[in-house]
Every structure is written in structure tokens, then in C-alpha cells.
């Protein structure tokens, strides 16, 4: 990737027409974050305080931070650690009945299940009432 910059590319100060800006956006869309960071640094030198560059920098920083966290690993458990813990928990439960009983033991889950049952009963009642009314007319 060439990051050569010529002054003729900055004639009217319109960053949206700059080929390097378009190339930077393309690099970001392709997930080539480090290359996009290099191109963005060049653009920031030639277009200081442009809102488009600030927005691109924020997006780029977010992706680079996420990539760094994924590669280096967060301070807590990693995704593979969580998956392994999930498999161990599932195997230790033994049966689906045990899993359902333990999950329904949480008060908020019980309340949500009850609310769900009430909603479905109301919908069913309304459906039956509507059909009976339609048949009687």
C-alpha cells in the first residue's frame, strides 16, 4: 500500500474526494485496521480537525482495541475458557430435567415464565372468542 501524498490531492480541502481517504475507508471495510491506521495518520496531517477523520479514528480505535483484547486476552476468562466452563456445567447437570428445575428456581425466571403463560392464555382466549363471534354472525 502506498501512502505517498501529493499536494494536488488537497486542492479544495474536500476530504471526501481525496483518493487516500477513499482508500482508508476501503481498508477499514476490509478489516485491514493497521493499514487503515497508517493511512489515517497521513490524512490527519493534511486535514487537521476534520469531523470525518475524527469519526473514522473513533471507529478504528474501537476495532483495534477489540482486536488487541482478543489477541492478548482480557484480564478475565477468555471465550474458550467460558465455552469449556459451559460444557463442564452442562455435563455435570446430568439431565435436562435437572437443568430445567435449577433454572426455574430463580425468582425472576419464574415470574417471566408466569407472565409468558398469562400472555399466551390471553391470546388464545381472544382467538377463540373471535372465532366464536365470527361463527355466530
Domain boundary among 16, 37, 72: 72
Domain identity same for 92 and 111: yes
User: Residue 34 to residues 28, 37, 65, 97, 101: CA-CA distances in angstroms?
Assistant: 9, 5, 11, 50, 49
Q: How confident is the model at residue 54 (pLDDT cuts 50, 70, 90)?
A: confident
* Backbone Cα Rg of the chain: 28
Residue range of the domain that includes 17? 7-72
Q: Give a yes or no: residue 2 inside a domain.
A: no
Domain boundary among 18, 51, 72: 72
Domain boundary among 23, 48, 72: 72
Q: How far apart are CA 34 and CA 24, in angstroms?
A: 10
Domain identity same for 102 and 126: yes
Give how many domains the chain has, as a whole number.
2
Q: Give a yes or no: residue 18 inside a domain.
A: yes
Instruction: Give the pTM.
Output: 0.44
pLDDT higher than 80, residue 116: yes
Amino acid at each position: 500500500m502506498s501512502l505517498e501524498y501529493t499536494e494536488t490531492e488537497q486542492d479544495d480541502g474536500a476530504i471526501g474526494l481525496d483518493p487516500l481517504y477513499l482508500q482508508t475507508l476501503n481498508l477499514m471495510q476490509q478489516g485491514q485496521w493497521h493499514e487503515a491506521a497508517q493511512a489515517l495518520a497521513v490524512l490527519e496531517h493534511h486535514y487537521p480537525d476534520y469531523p470525518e477523520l475524527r469519526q473514522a479514528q473513533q471507529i478504528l480505535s474501537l476495532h483495534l482495541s477489540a482486536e488487541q483484547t482478543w489477541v492478548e486476552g482480557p484480564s478475565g476468562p477468555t471465550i474458550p475458557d467460558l465455552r469449556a466452563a459451559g460444557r463442564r456445567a452442562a455435563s455435570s447437570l446430568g439431565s435436562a430435567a435437572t437443568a430445567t428445575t435449577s433454572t426455574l428456581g430463580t425468582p425472576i425466571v419464574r415470574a417471566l415464565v408466569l407472565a409468558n403463560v398469562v400472555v399466551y392464555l390471553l391470546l388464545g382466549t381472544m382467538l377463540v372468542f373471535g372465532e366464536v363471534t365470527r361463527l355466530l354472525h
